[in-house]
Amino acid sequence: MDVTIVEVSPRDGLQNEPVVLPTEAKVELIGRLVAAGARRVEAVSFAHPKLVPAMADAEAVMERVPRPDGVSYAGLVLNRRGLDRALGSGVDEVNVVVCVSETFNRRNQNASTSESMQAAAEVIGRARGEGLFTTLTLATSFGCPFEGEVDPGRVVELAARGAAAGAHELCLADTIGAGVPSQVRDLVARARDAVGAEPPLRFHFHNTRNTGFANAVTAVELGARVLDASAGGIGGCPFAPRATGNIATDDLVFLLERMGLDTGYDLEALLPTAAFLSERLGHEVPALLPRAGTFP
Ligand code: ZN
């Protein structure tokens, strides 16, 4: 596989939709994604159910997902309690999130960025000890809805701490979809200086302002081999209520495969997922490929 897509629609997508899907529909979505070739799926979040009610059934979802060989399921984890839940749920990976922006982290996790980073380092160490693949995601790496521009030096400083803590992967996330390709280039160069080639970088782009696909292509051209995307482009941005969600898996697979890069997805199998999501969520999804069709 040239580029591995981490399918985040069941977590980042559904978490930001106004309609909360029942467990059965989440499991069906995940089953469809896996049948279409998804090999890494961020299926659930172990954030506190009071904070993220749409993900309260994480354990029930994990009990029912299909388990073919080669498919790895991830759960999002914010703290030690989240890790305890993750360890009991059967996930293969944990995605530990720290927000680079101090204000954003305080609002999201009720702690300073340093405190969250310290907790993340412990969670990563423990998860590794339990044999789980670990990702450190640095949220708001490209901009913050409260503070505006985010210091790229701070991003790579936290990335270096994640690497030192033993994270298998570092994910730079454009949480609010404000990033542009020159920022991707700058962050990749700085991260290579500060961290080196290992652990590898993964990118998480939102298409809030239509820059997500340009950012994705830039990351791939700079050597990134793991990108997050959401089937149908579902989800949104809590800070831009009418905005679209993550970059759409459908459109990203088309783009990368037509560039000659293997993603492991079968587009024909994936495309009907957009109609399924539209029906269950009660609105058309932002992805364009399901409307236009494939080519040639
Ligand atoms: Zn996101």
Q: Which residues surround ligand 1, an ion (CB under 5 A)?
A: 12
CA 204 – ligand 1 centroid, Å:
7
pLDDT at position 237 over 90: no
CA 229 – ligand 1 centroid, Å:
9
Distance CA 240, CA 287 (A): 18
Mean pLDDT, the chain, rounded, equals 96
End-to-end CA distance of the chain: 22
CA 246 – ligand 1 centroid, Å:
6
Catalytic residue among 99, 144, 171, 237: 237
Provide mean pLDDT across the span 212-238. 96
The answer to whether residues 158 and 192 touch, using CB atoms and an 8 Å cutoff, is no
pLDDT digits (tens, 9 = 90+) for 159-216: 999 999 999 999 999 999 999 999 999 999 999 999 999 999 999 999 999 999 999 9
Residue 264: the pLDDT is 98
CA 177 – ligand 1 centroid, Å:
9
CA 272 – ligand 1 centroid, Å:
23
- 237 an active-site residue? yes
The residues near 3 (Cβ < 8 Å, ≥ 6 apart) are: 220, 224, 225, 226, 227, 256, 261, 262, 263
pLDDT digits (tens, 9 = 90+) for 87-133: 999 999 999 999 999 999 999 899 999 999 999 999 999 999 999 99
Distance CA 132, CA 125 (A): 10
Residue 239: the pLDDT is 74
CA 68 – ligand 1 centroid, Å:
26
pLDDT at position 240 over 80: no
* Global pTM value: 0.97
The answer to whether residues 251 and 290 touch, using CB atoms and an 8 Å cutoff, is no
Residue 290: the pLDDT is 97
Instruction: Pinpoint the alpha helices (H) of the chain.
Output: 14-15, 23-35, 58-64, 80-89, 102-109, 113-129, 152-165, 181-195, 212-221, 249-258, 267-270, 272-281, 289-292
Provide mean pLDDT across the span 49-78. 96
CA 245 – ligand 1 centroid, Å:
8
